[in-house]
A and B are shown apart, each in its own frame.
Chain A
Amino acid sequence: MAAIRIEGLHKRFGDVQALDGLSLTAEPGSVFGFLGPNGAGKTTTIRILAGLARADSGRAWIDGLEVTADRRRLPGRIGYLPQDPAFYPWMTAREFLDHVGRMFGLPAGERRARIDELLDLVGLAEAAGRRVGGFSGGMDQRLGIAQALVNRPPVLLLDEPVSGLDPAGRRELLQLIDHLRGQCTVFMSTHILADVERVCDTVAIIHRGRLVAEAPQQELLSRYAIPAFEIEVQNGLADQLVAWANSLITRAWVVSVSLDRAVARVTVSDVETARRELMASAVAEGLPLNRFEMVRPSLEDVFLRLVEGGGSE
């Protein structure tokens, strides 16, 4: 049984079609990256899955329960972290988690132990007695994760969990998400590709409310990424690099060329030809090379190709 299954979700806000027949499946125990540009429909999908919004049509299941038909039995099955989590500012972190534990009917002893465990897990043990109103954005996000885990849910819905965090906070939160792999299904929306590459084992890319790709990350990379070479020259030779790069465009095996200061990135359709001719061409041009390498295709390449291509594969 899939942890999350969505079939043909539609949702419209006035003139905007937020979801346009979205379908996807997340397997139990996976960290599922739900990727898309701003306005793609990620938050709307998560709000429907959490029972906070209704779909115009289509169906969705969490842990076997159809949430689009019965949201009342949903709470025990999910943990939910909204994009900008807000708490009661007059409560301390411990009081808030205690309040959530009481909601789920945890007995006092178990509640205390669970709160201590979660405060340790998210690194808020020392701030447990502080009022939440004085927390930083990063601390809010950690408390948000902790409150979502109180009931040990089989499915965790995280809406942009690392947005607004500093690099250290992002790394810690991603480590925490990684740590949850296998314990529960993490469904995580984001537009930060590096985070998805780091922790997600399955990725779905949506654009304009439609699924454009869904597969395990490595499969997605091998299926959609275009091979690319990076050529770096000495600083001060950028003009020469530009002239050479422009001359490459006409070659049949070159797909695209992009420049970033002294680095040219050349995506190609024929790796073997490129391997032979690209180096020879650079040498013939008299470019003193600092680096010449075939780069690992990134999720960013796949994402941009799928999304900028208008959502078609």
Chain B
Amino acid sequence: MRVFGVALRKELLEQWRSYRLVIVGSVLLVFGFASPLLAKYGPEMIRLALPEGDAILQLIPKPTTADAVSQYIKNISQFGILLAVLMTMGSVAQEKDKGTAALMLVKPLPRLVFLAAKMAALGLTFATGIVLAGVACYYYTMLVFETLSLSAWLALNGLLLLFILVYVALTLLCSTLSKSQVVSGALAFGFLVVLSALGAVPRLGDYLPGRLTTWAASLFAGGGDSAWPALAVSVGVIVAALLAAWLIFERQEL
């Protein structure tokens, strides 16, 4: 546990010094406050920007809180997984390539702890980003629409964080497989494409991580459309990816 604390301290310091925390926090924060504003003022912007704006505005339904939430889920999930791949793809691959992994792993740092500290630091980075985005979106939605249910809002953001962490864990696995961060990034995007394609398959999609975002949306659409199997599968994918990464990393020569 002491060594995990030392490794996590280094990883968090790296998240800060390499601006990863700032980038993730800023991008998600921007989409956090922009989502309700775009939902509210998007139609108005269209009206002002286009010559036939007034006619088009008549066709667009009056924006609601559900539009703000839907916009938020779409933005955070899409940019979240993009950031998850970009911020994670070099985490192990780069250390293997440069030799820092070899230098540190001859010290009392087990390989499992090396990986777990990276996953924990990335998890905290994305959790910070989601908190910033969630607070911003909650506040601006309250200003331009209405106050959201706090418990539902917390549940929605928890689901979004879990959805993003699935891709963090898969990319960490890819980063363990390769010595090149480009290759690991390409492998991670491969996972992304496959999971997206499988998610579109009727019935099968109900069990995949993508279903978490529709569950999150339903929390404010009044559907109560829960997806516990998808949640269990997502947690399972995270655990399996980390386990696979550890077993592979243990066998690798550095």
A75 at the interface (CB under 8 A from B): yes
Given contacts A90-B18, A99-B6, contact A104 B254 (CB under 8 A): no
Contact A103 B106 (CB under 8 A): no
Most-contacted residue by chain A among B17, B103, B110 (CB, 10 A): B103
A129 at the interface (CB under 8 A from B): no
B108 at the interface (CB under 8 A from A): yes
Contact B253 A54 (CB under 8 A): yes
Contact A90 B253 (CB under 8 A): no
What is the CB-to-nearest-CB distance from B6 to chain A, in angstroms, rounded to a whole number?
4
Bound Cα distance from A104 to B13, whole angstroms: 19
Bound Cα distance from A80 to B107, whole angstroms: 9
Given contacts A90-B14, A103-B3, contact A75 B102 (CB under 8 A): no
Q: B100 contacts which chain A residues (CB < 8 A)? A: 86-88
Instruction: Find the B residue at minimum CB distance from A74.
Output: B106
Bound Cα distance from A103 to B2, whole angstroms: 8
Contact A80 B6 (CB under 8 A): no
Q: A100 contacts which chain B residues (CB < 8 A)? A: 107
Q: A105 contacts which chain B residues (CB < 8 A)? A: 2, 108
Contact A47 B99 (CB under 8 A): no
Bound Cα distance from A91 to B9, whole angstroms: 13
What is the CB-to-nearest-CB distance from A201 to chain B, in angstroms, rounded to a whole number?
25
Give the size range of A's interface with the partner: 20 to 34
Residue-wise, chain B 102-137 has the 8 Å CB interface mask toward A (1 for contact) of 111111111000000000000000000000000000
Q: B13 contacts which chain A residues (CB < 8 A)? A: 90-91
What is the CB-to-nearest-CB distance from A92 to chain B, in angstroms, rounded to a whole number?
11
Contact A99 B10 (CB under 8 A): yes
Given contacts A86-B98, A90-B18, A103-B3, contact A50 B107 (CB under 8 A): no
Instruction: Find the A residue at minimum CB distance from B6.
Output: A102
Given contacts A52-B254, A53-B254, contact A80 B10 (CB under 8 A): no
Contact B103 A82 (CB under 8 A): yes
The B69-121 residues at the A interface (CB cut-off 8 A) are: 98-100, 102-110
Contact A52 B253 (CB under 8 A): yes
Q: B3 contacts which chain A residues (CB < 8 A)? A: 103
A64 at the interface (CB under 8 A from B): no
Q: A251 contacts which chain B residues (CB < 8 A)? A: none
Given contacts A53-B253, A103-B6, contact A76 B108 (CB under 8 A): yes
List 25 A–B pairs whose Cβ atoms lie within 8 Å, in order of A's numbering: A50-B106, A52-B102, A52-B253, A74-B106, A75-B106, A76-B108, A82-B102, A82-B103, A84-B99, A85-B103, A86-B100, A87-B103, A88-B14, A88-B100, A90-B18, A91-B13, A91-B17, A100-B107, A102-B6, A102-B9, A103-B3, A103-B6, A103-B109, A147-B103, A151-B107
Task: Show the binding face of A for B, using Cβ within 8 Å.
Answer: 47, 50-54, 72, 74-76, 78, 80, 82, 84-88, 90-91, 99-100, 102-105, 144, 147, 151
Task: Show the binding face of B for A, using Cβ within 8 Å.
Answer: 2-3, 6, 9-10, 13-14, 17-18, 98-100, 102-110, 253-254
